[in-house]
Amino acid sequence: MWTLPANPDLALVAVNAHRAEELSVGLAETLRSAPLCTATGEVFDVVELVRMPARTYRASEGGTLPRAGLFAATSRELHALGLATEDAATRARPLEGLTVVVTRAAHQVAPLASLLEAAGAQVIAMPAIATVPPDEPARVDEALRTLAHTDAVVFTSENGALCTFERVRALGLDARAFAGKVVAAIGPGTAKALAREGLRADLVPSEHIGEALAAALVARLPPRSTLTIFRATEARDALPRLLGEAGHDARVIPVYTTTRAFDAARFADLAQARAPLALTFTSASTATSVIDALDAIDARRHLAGVGLVSIGPITSEALAARGVTVNAEASPYTLGGVVDAISAWHRERATFTGASP
């Protein structure tokens, strides 16, 4: 066990999550904003991922804790130190009684569903999209074989990371193929997907949108750098455009194509049978797929009374372009932020209706 110095400059925080997405927004921001952070072995991987690219120090068993900064440990470990506090957020179930529809691709439902269920929601998976190989898979292989000619590699989604590494393995390569490159991920979910493949992101912007990622890359890279962007076939052009305007050579490599898969009739039946109900949108592609599918059967009216929650401004803009206004928008633009946004909407709804949240 560790020796605790009697120093008011050392703050303690309980981390009782096994994945970064399970952290509350407040706790994630606390960890991210700490100038100095030390974590025990049990929580180190989670804390390190949340704080990237800032450094996290690992506490040595039997050692003395640092005399300043933030010390992260499980509640059990803090109890053993005689200093444990129990975070009320870990006990609260703010979404009790609410049904939430998750529209992420089938292979991505579980992380958000687990967070929602932990908060008390009943989760129904209705994937709005599916991913298929790109039209020109040979371009992906060629880009991976010629990584020696690029200075940085950029991943703009979790799906982009997953699909890229499918080709990496198919070519008999692994994470070492990216050695010496600046690796950028648009957000913590993408960074985690890379970490599972053994690749650590050097750069994760604090705001998880293309504009922020471009600004971070421009600040990090020397002039006239060459970048390879692994992304969906259809995606916003903000990132490559801004990099090009800054004098960099940004090569876009589509690694997957998104197809629409939303079951609008099933949702219409659900909306008529259940209340209260929330519908999540975690990308612009899920937003367009859902609305277009509902319009195809003249069922947009079933959105009335449903809590529409988006993961961030880009997704909200995609909905607005189709005449749909969200009830809540996540901040930060993460799965944890989505859960917090749903909770805020659910509380507000209860205040106006007099129902229990």
pLDDT values of the chain reduced to their tens digit, one per residue, 357 residues: 455 565 667 788 888 888 887 776 667 777 888 889 999 999 999 999 999 888 999 988 766 777 788 888 887 887 777 664 444 443 457 898 899 999 999 988 988 998 898 888 999 999 999 999 999 999 999 999 999 999 999 999 999 999 999 999 999 999 999 999 999 999 998 999 999 999 999 999 989 999 999 999 999 999 999 999 999 999 999 999 999 999 999 999 999 999 999 999 999 999 998 779 999 999 999 999 999 999 999 999 999 999 999 999 999 999 999 999 999 999 989 999 999 999 999 988 876 655 555
Same domain, yes or no: 107 and 196: no
Residue 349, pLDDT score: 85
Same domain, yes or no: 101 and 58: no
Helix (H) or strand (E) holding 99: strand 99-102
Answer with the one of 208, 226, 257 that is the final residue of a domain: 257
CA–CA separation, 277 and 95 (whole Å): 11
Residue 10, pLDDT score: 79
Is 291 part of a structural domain of the chain? Answer: yes
CA–CA separation, 288 and 242 (whole Å): 25
Which phi and psi (to 5°) does residue 229 adopt?
Answer: -105, 115
Q: Which two tokens stand for residue 311?
A: 């993961």
CATH number, domain with residue 245: 3.40.50.10090
Residue 248, pLDDT score: 98
Q: What is the DSSP letter of 41?
A: T
Residue 88, pLDDT score: 40
Residue 178, pLDDT score: 98
Residue 353, pLDDT score: 58
Residue 273, pLDDT score: 87
> Residue with structure tokens 């997957």?
256
CA–CA separation, 334 and 206 (whole Å): 11
Residue 356, pLDDT score: 54
CA–CA separation, 177 and 221 (whole Å): 20
Is 4 part of a structural domain of the chain? Answer: no
Q: What is the DSSP letter of 65?
A: P
Same domain, yes or no: 297 and 211: no
CA–CA separation, 342 and 116 (whole Å): 9
Same domain, yes or no: 103 and 172: no
Same domain, yes or no: 232 and 163: yes
Answer with the one of 236, 257, 278 that is the final residue of a domain: 257
Do residues 114 and 104 lie in contact, with contact meaning Cβ atoms separated by under 8 Å?
A: no
Answer with the one of 210, 232, 257 that is the final residue of a domain: 257
Number of folded domains that form the chain: 3
Same domain, yes or no: 210 and 66: no
Same domain, yes or no: 122 and 234: no
Is 38 part of a structural domain of the chain? Answer: yes
Domain with 178, as residue range(s), is 134-257
Cα R_g (the chain), whole angstroms:
22
Same domain, yes or no: 81 and 119: no
Same domain, yes or no: 181 and 139: yes
Region for residue 203 given its phi and psi (left: phi exceeds 0; alpha: psi -120 to 50; beta: otherwise): beta
Same domain, yes or no: 230 and 277: no
Residue 75, pLDDT score: 78
Same domain, yes or no: 139 and 232: yes
Beta partners for residue 155, in sequence order: 185, 230
Question: 57 to each of 135, 219, 336, how far by Cα in Å?
Answer: 44, 25, 24
Same domain, yes or no: 324 and 302: yes
Q: Which two tokens stand for residue 4?
A: 């605790």
